[in-house]
Structure 1
Amino acid sequence: MGRRSDHTREELREMLVALGHAHMAEAGLARFSGREVAKRAGYSVGTIYNVFGSLDTLIAAINTRTFGLWADHLRSRLASGEPDRIRLLVEGYFTFAFENSNLWNAIFDHHLPADFELSEADRLQRGELTAIVIEEIAAILPAPERVGLPRLAASLVAVVHGHCAFAVSGSFALMEEPDPIGAAYDRVCECLTQVASGGRSPGSHWAGGGSSGIA
């Protein structure tokens, strides 16, 4: 039986997202059940639709929470003090995906309706991941080469994501690629070295700790 008077609407929203996130981590998107989330909260499934309007909106909120945790994971790795911050970013992308595979896959497997619009809060939280990448790339590129930085960052994320998706799915194992993280890192380094040189052929790797470092 529903306990609608027990929580405010905002409390209900937070509780359902938290419980939904835990359920998504356990079950994955294919076996995700709004009814199960409502049951865990002690409410009827209709409460999800009263609070979120649709199951898609709840799943989008769950995925936004995953983006936030992912950004925190990258920040934690960057705070380690290791000098090669680009390697930390690449490795952090992979480790989060491997350690949270159901949540990570749900981000990319959940297809929203064409007319669905994320809230401004969702867009801002999801954007934190790319903002971290942009900040780290800006720190190692000469000022003249920072034009179009968001586009460059998006492309590099796509490169790393492709390698990561192949690794998580097992495709790289079938291709007998022994080090997908190293391969992704190499491609990113090659691209950044070329950009930093103003178009020169890719050079060696670097330990990107701040104002310079690209060899």
Structure 2
Amino acid sequence: MNNVQEESLRDQKKNRRRRQILEIARGIIAAKGLRSLKVRDVAEAVGCSVGSVYNEFGDFDGVILTVNRETVQALTARLRGVPVEDPVRQLYGLAETYLDFFAGHANLLRSLFEHRMEDDRPYPDDILQMVMDAFALMHPPLVRLLPDADDVKIALLSRTLFSAVHGIISLGLEERMVAVPPQMLRQQIEQFLDVHLRGLGILPQR
């Protein structure tokens, strides 16, 4: 076996171990929440040392951040799949899709919003931008529905709407507090959007 083949095998083994670390970490977060994720548990499940986990990701934050990046990428892909022909239906569709994704991946999304970096280091800008880009998907339909509004106002409105939807869903699915059945939560989100869009003059007053 020549040096190139040996290097290729090492790379394959490294990539396989990296995928295993992420799969184990993602599974623990999804099932038990971020607080249950321990580096020793991940290393033991993968069959490697704690040092190997750190070598792959720099530190344990690197593992969590990689999982979080994949979560927001999956969320954004789902949101981008909402039909855009009717801007009003698109707004409702974005909210409903967010609810469906949150209901199916609650702990992974909570990890995205709840993770705090070690030593109070700043949260990576790229993930913050990815989250903002996901929230900004409400911007295009609002531009179509409010063509005379200032773009800065529309940008703020889109973030506010999505933040409100996120808050309703996050609290509604919190089992320790006010847990609301998903179908009732869907109705509450629709009612919230009804009231808000009527206030903006997008929907007719009853």
Q: What TM-score does the superposition give when structure 1 sets the normalisation length? A: 0.72
Letter in 2 for 1:70: L
Q: What is the rounded CA distance, in whole Å, between the counterparts of 1:64 and 1:75 in structure 2? A: 16
Task: Tell me the C-alpha RMSD between the 2 structures.
Answer: 3.4
Is 1:148 matched up with 2:148?
no
Which whole-Å deviations, capped at 9, do the CAs of 1:33-84 have from their partners, x for residues lacking one? 22233334442111222233321232122112111111122233x1497871
Give the match for residue 169 of structure 1.
Answer: 174
Q: What is the rounded CA distance, in whole Å, between the counterparts of 2:25 and 2:53 in structure 1? A: 10
Is 1:90 matched up with 2:95?
yes
CA distance change for structure 1 residues 112 and 66 in 2, over 3 Å: closer, same or farther? Answer: same
Which whole-Å deviations, capped at 9, do the CAs of 1:1-33 have from their partners, x for residues lacking one? xxxx73379836555334422332233212112
CA distance change for structure 1 residues 18 and 136 in 2, over 3 Å: closer, same or farther? Answer: farther
Structure 2 residues without counterparts, runs of 5 or longer: 1-8
Q: What is the rounded CA distance, in whole Å, between the counterparts of 1:49 and 1:115 in structure 2? A: 17
Counterpart pick for 2:10 among 6, 10, 16? 6
Between the two proteins, the alignment pairs up a number of residues equal to 194
Q: What TM-score does the superposition give when structure 2 sets the normalisation length? A: 0.74
Asked if 1 retains the 8 angstrom alpha-carbon contact of 2:79 and 2:98, the reply is yes
Letter in 2 for 1:46: G
Letter in 1 for 2:101: F
CA distance change for structure 1 residues 188 and 8 in 2, over 3 Å: closer, same or farther? Answer: same
Counterpart pick for 1:29 among 26, 34, 55? 34
Displacement after TM superposition at 1:164 (Å): 0.6
Mapping of 1:136-215 within 5 angstroms?
136-170=141-175, 171-173=177-179, 179-196=184-201, 203-204=204-205
CA distance change for structure 1 residues 34 and 139 in 2, over 3 Å: closer, same or farther? Answer: farther
Instruction: Give me the identity figure in percent.
Output: 21
Structure 1 residues without counterparts, runs of 5 or longer: 206-215
Q: What is the rounded CA distance, in whole Å, between the counterparts of 1:143 and 1:8 in structure 2? A: 55
